């Protein structure tokens, strides 16, 4: 149980394009999903909290117009990196809570912006 | 500012060795501490600790929390090459949120 999927697992795009990443909880309903970014050899940095049916809340320093989050249903949240630039290249991970503080992570999406 | 600190940052051992990973925390409204294992992809959940002195165990892995001294340890006995990973500890920021503060992780490498 508590499986979270992410799609795509890897994406390469040109600078200026937008990229959408999907995060799905496969066997449970998640009212809250979290989006993280991880740089090489660094820990997870929380970007935003995605709540079903309401606007996402962003952490300080994260541009909400740059990283658009939509939590369309209890099993799906999407992160769109708009007008991507090379500095947006990173490993993006989502997680979903099944109630309480335990979070289950998706397998991550590696984004490379050329 | 709330924070979670892990040590050592990196550890290299041989198969069969026992290792202890440390996690200290400063969280104003502490609720629980979580351990995750991260291999090449996203972290997988290991343990959640809420009470002092009660060891949680899963196979060769065990963990315990000391709420007085504000730390936790993760022990791995008889290490195997498959234990090679980054081990992360994390704590919720507050009582009314599930947002986690992560430590920087300990990179464990187990050689045959």
Question: Taking 80 as the threshold, does the pLDDT of residue A17 lie above it?
Answer: yes
CA B35-B41-B45 angle, to 5 degrees, is 25
* Distance (Å) from the alpha carbon of B37 to chain A's nearest alpha carbon: 11
The alpha carbon of A31 is separated from its chain's Cα centroid by a whole number of angstroms, namely 15
Report the C-alpha gap between A17 and A111 in whole angstroms.
12
pLDDT mean across residues, chain A: 90
Question: Taking 90 as the threshold, does the pLDDT of residue A27 lie above it?
Answer: no
User: B103 CB contacts (<8 Å, ≥6 apart)?
Assistant: A43, B4, B5, B6, B23, B88, B89, B90
Q: What's the average model confidence in pLDDT over A75-79?
A: 93
Which of B98, B105, B108, B109 has the highest number of chain A CBs within 10 A, making it the mutation to test binding with A?
Answer: B98
Report the C-alpha gap between A33 and A53 in whole angstroms.
12
Report the C-alpha gap between B43 and B45 in whole angstroms.
7
Q: What's the average model confidence in pLDDT over B48-56?
A: 92
Question: Taking 80 as the threshold, does the pLDDT of residue B95 lie above it?
Answer: no
| Per-residue pLDDT at A1 | 60
Can you say whether the dihedral through the CA atoms of A94, A52, B98, B62 is positive or negative? negative
CB contact under 8 A, B102 and A93: no
Which of B6, B7, B42, B92 has the highest number of chain A CBs within 10 A, making it the mutation to test binding with A?
Answer: B42
């Amino acid at each position: 149980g508590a499986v979270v999927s992410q799609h795509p697992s890897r994406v390469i795009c040109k600078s200026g394009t937008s990229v959408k990443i999907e995060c799905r909880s496969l066997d449970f309903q998640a009212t809250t999903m979290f989006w993280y970014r991880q740089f090489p050899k660094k820990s997870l940095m929380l970007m935003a909290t995605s709540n079903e049916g309401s606007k996402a809340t962003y952490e300080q320093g994260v541009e909400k117009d740059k990283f658009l989050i939509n939590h369309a249903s209890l099993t799906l949240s999407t992160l769109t990196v708009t007008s991507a630039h090379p500095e947006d290249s990173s490993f993006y991970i989502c997680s979903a809570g099944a109630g309480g503080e335990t979070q289950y992570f998706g397998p991550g999406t590696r984004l490379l912006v050329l | 500012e709330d924070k979670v600190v892990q040590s050592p940052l990196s550890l290299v051992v041989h198969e069969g060795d026992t290792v202890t990973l440390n996690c200290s925390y400063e969280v104003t409204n502490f609720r629980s501490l979580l351990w995750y294992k991260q291999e090449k992809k996203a972290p997988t959940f290991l343990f959640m600790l809420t009470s002092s002195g009660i060891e949680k165990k899963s196979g060769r892995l065990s963990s315990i929390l000391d709420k007085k001294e504000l730390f936790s340890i993760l022990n791995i006995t008889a290490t195997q090459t498959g234990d090679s990973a980054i081990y992360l500890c994390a704590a919720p920021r507050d009582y009314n949120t599930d947002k986690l503060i992560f430590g920087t992780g300990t990179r464990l490498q187990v050689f045959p």
